[in-house]
Homo-oligomer: A and B are copies of this chain.
Amino acid sequence: MKTIVIIGAGMMGSAMSIPARANGHTVRLVGTPLDREIIDHARKTGRHLKMDRQLPDGLSYHQFEDVKDALKGCDFVICGVSSFGVDWFIQEALPLIDENIPVLMVTKGLWHDGQGGLVAFPDYVKKNSGLRHSVCAIGGPCTSYELADKNHSYVAFCGEDEKALSMMKAALKTDFYHISLTKDVFGLECAVALKNAYALAVSLAVGLHEKAHGPGGVLAYNPQAALFAQSVKEMKRLLALLGGGEDNLIFGAGDLYVTVFGGRTRKLGALLGQGYGIDEALKMLSGVTLESVVIAGRTHDALFQMAESGKARLEDFPLLTHIGQLLKGETKLNIPWEAFEEDRI
């Protein structure tokens, strides 16, 4: 049995306690300073305040001031913060973790390197912390709610350290949580990050249909499938351009699939598809800063910079180009359907 410490008690971090406890490990859930209420609520009720799910028996709850105690004797740490919390994690949490203890990040997304390149979070963490931890990450189609419900989920863990990867997989794999391992960190992280922009793109078709036929009716799937096919085409191209391997594209395609069917990214895409501008649409979603919007913007910026330096051709990415322009408010909705056509004869 292992001792696993989860730092960050948001929905995905907390949901990781479910497979961990299902396997009988000792699991300590430590909130960030932003998670204070979640930890208090969980202590009192055994439930997660935001996810509205029962948390597993035997889980212990800790505020961040007790993190040093919580870390004692642990085998690995799960970093449960979102991409907005990564810098905090590097500055406040990572230095407290023994450098021999590996870290598994649930954080999704890519950072920009300021020169048009994109960086996977495990590399970002290593570079910016200056510490020697083995940093691994999870990618793939897995929503926290459904992991908490023990629905079958299939993800990949990526990292450079085979031993750490194998140890984490052995600790967390259950009969509902299925895990592949890969050393292609950038390929996996990139494949699953790209889905942010493309989930917005596929959801445009939802809004387009709702606008024409009113909400709540039977949806149209030809347009969604058209955008899905074009998305996979562009994701594959972008992954190759950015230097990721192709084996993990399936996790990006799966993540695209699951993201189109729920959550705020779909809602935002549908609003854009109805013709609302980005500012208006974000206002309608109560102004929450969506991780997906930030990451989609970063992806578009990277494409644009590659195009400027002659490494990429914008015309190979008509859908991402349009999404980037929509997010910047530079254009009205005008899905470039015709640009999807290619004559390979």
Contact = CB atoms under 8 A, between A and B. Distances in A.
Interface of A: 140-143, 146-147, 149, 151-154, 162, 165-166, 169, 173, 175, 178-184, 205, 208-209, 219-226, 228-230, 232-233, 236, 247, 249-251, 253-255, 257-258, 261-262, 335, 337-338, 340-345
Nearest to A147: B222
B226 A152 contact: yes
A48 to B, nearest CB: 17
25 contacts: A141-B222, A141-B228, A146-B220, A147-B222, A149-B220, A151-B223, A152-B208, A152-B226, A152-B335, A153-B226, A154-B225, A154-B229, A154-B341, A162-B345, A165-B343, A178-B341, A181-B343, A181-B344, A182-B345, A229-B250, A229-B251, A230-B250, A232-B249, A232-B254, A233-B250
Nearest to A342: B180
A180 B226 CA distance: 12
A257 to B, nearest CB: 5
Nearest to A209: B151
How many copies of this chain does one complex carry? Answer: 2
A35 to B, nearest CB: 24
Contacts of A182: 344-345
Contacts of A255: 225
B149 A226 contact: no
Given A221-B146, A222-B151, A345 B228 contact: no
A344 B247 contact: yes
Given A149-B220, A220-B146, A345-B166, A178 B340 contact: yes
A232 to B, nearest CB: 5
A208 B247 CA distance: 28
Given A178-B337, A181-B344, A229-B140, A152 B222 contact: yes
Given A153-B223, A232-B249, 11 more contacts: A140-B229, A151-B209, A152-B337, A154-B225, A154-B341, A166-B343, A166-B345, A178-B337, A221-B257, A229-B254, A257-B257
Contacts of A162: 345
A225 B340 contact: no
A229 to B, nearest CB: 3
A180 B343 contact: yes
Contacts of A223: 146, 151-153
A221 B262 contact: yes
Contacts of A181: 342-345
Nearest to A229: B254
Pick from A220, A221, A249, A342 the residue with the most CB of B within 10 Å.
A221
B141 A226 contact: yes
A143 B219 CA distance: 13
Contacts of A146: 220-223
Nearest to A205: B152
Contacts of A261: 219, 221, 224
10 nearest A-B residue pairs (beta carbon): A229-B254, A154-B226, A141-B225, A225-B258, A146-B222, A152-B223, A153-B222, A225-B254, A181-B343, A229-B250
Nearest to A159: B345
A153 B162 CA distance: 45
Nearest to A183: B345
